[in-house]
Amino acid sequence: MLTRGGIVVVGAGLAGLRAAETLRERGFDGGLVVVGDETRQPYNRPPLSKSILLKGAGDTTFPIDETLDIEWKLGVSAKHLDVRNRTLVLSDGSSILYDGLIIATGSRAVRPSLPGADRADVHVLRTLDDALRLARALRSTDSVAIIGAGLVGCEIASSSVELGKTVTLIDSEPMPMLRVLGRHVSHVIANMHRLNGVQLELSCTVSRIEKRLNAFEVALTNGKSIKSDVLVLATGGSPNTEWLDASTLTLDKGVRCDSRCFAIGGDGRIVAAGDVARWEHPDYDAPIRVGHWTNAGEQGVAAANALLDPDNALPFKPLLSFWTDQYGQRLQAIGAPWLGSEIVFTKGSPGDPKFVAISLRSGRITGAIVMNMPAGLLEWRTRIGANYA
């Protein structure tokens, strides 16, 4: 069946929803279709590693204005894009003709290539179903091992501790969240986990995963073997671009876009937003792809605006930001603190429950990290944000 559409949004996550809302808010009154591979309407993902794990249930669905007149195609995925004929082929065999296309297919959890990682009872956390499965597993067991000490892995560890579990956190880096916080502040996160009883196995990799009886055994390159009832892979995400392999779009660790979010290799009627987009941010030396919540929403808005009015579309140059809640503490970061070569604590110190730290490189502020001090974040957001105006 061939259905003619106006604008199609592929991806029913935060970026796709904000894009669809923006189209209507800007006065677009043509056909609007949102395609999503999950059967649920768009929902909020940050609670998955926190409240959903702690409560074992919950509804994080975004409120949606029913007057937006959106045609939802849920439980079906994109299979192929014909740019020349402006046709999207779906997994159910149907096709949609479009005048404009917004790609917001996000990313999926990565399972590393090592023995045992592909077991069905080894957990990942990307969707609400993933979170509900993990919550059930945690409630019936005593110990959990988490491979990957990035933001998601650290939040799973925090929630597991709150549930009374024995937790081991494993990562090849010397500190948790090193890649996003930089070496000067990541040790604060490490100390926080240690103080809450988490066993940290850092600067080592996993060589093998086995399950004997009802327990996992994780062999590490440092010679240790970690045993746990539950095993979670928190080893990052990979952009969902396989359905675009045969298209004319440029794929390079995501959908390559220009500074205005237009897909390179497209015909000027295709934009991308969120985890799947790798775009030319004017303030960075190379194209970037950002998987944080704030960026997904902001880029969804920017991509929709660009599609509606390409002649007046401005470069998308947000001030990057993210936050994490662990052990009752909130850490917030703006800019790119990982690019700094030195750190200056403007308020407090690394051992304090509250602090503000700025990262510097060649005298230029690259970012700020704030622990439990939202007012301090606002101050530095204004200062650093002036560079992104």
- Whole-angstrom distance, CA of residue 250 vs CA of residue 271: 12
Place of tokens 């790119």: 336
What does R_g of the chain's alpha carbons equal in angstroms? 22
Nearest residue to 232 via CA among 337, 322, 150: 150
The pLDDT, as a whole number, for residue 120 is 93
Would you state the pLDDT for residue 339? 83
The per-residue pLDDT for 386 is: 58
Show the domains of the chain with their CATH numbers.
Answer: 2-108+238-312 (3.50.50.60), 111-235 (3.50.50.60), 328-388 (3.30.390.30)
Residues of the chain with pLDDT > 70, as a percent, come to 97
- Please give the C-alpha separations between residue 296 and each of 18, 143, 217, 275, in angstroms, as whole numbers: 8, 34, 37, 7
Tell me the average confidence (pLDDT) per consecutive run of 10 residues in the chain, 389 residues long: 70 98 95 97 96 94 94 98 97 96 97 91 97 96 97 98 98 95 88 97 96 93 97 96 97 97 96 97 91 96 97 94 95 89 90 90 88 86 65
According to the model, what pLDDT value does residue 4 have?
A: 46
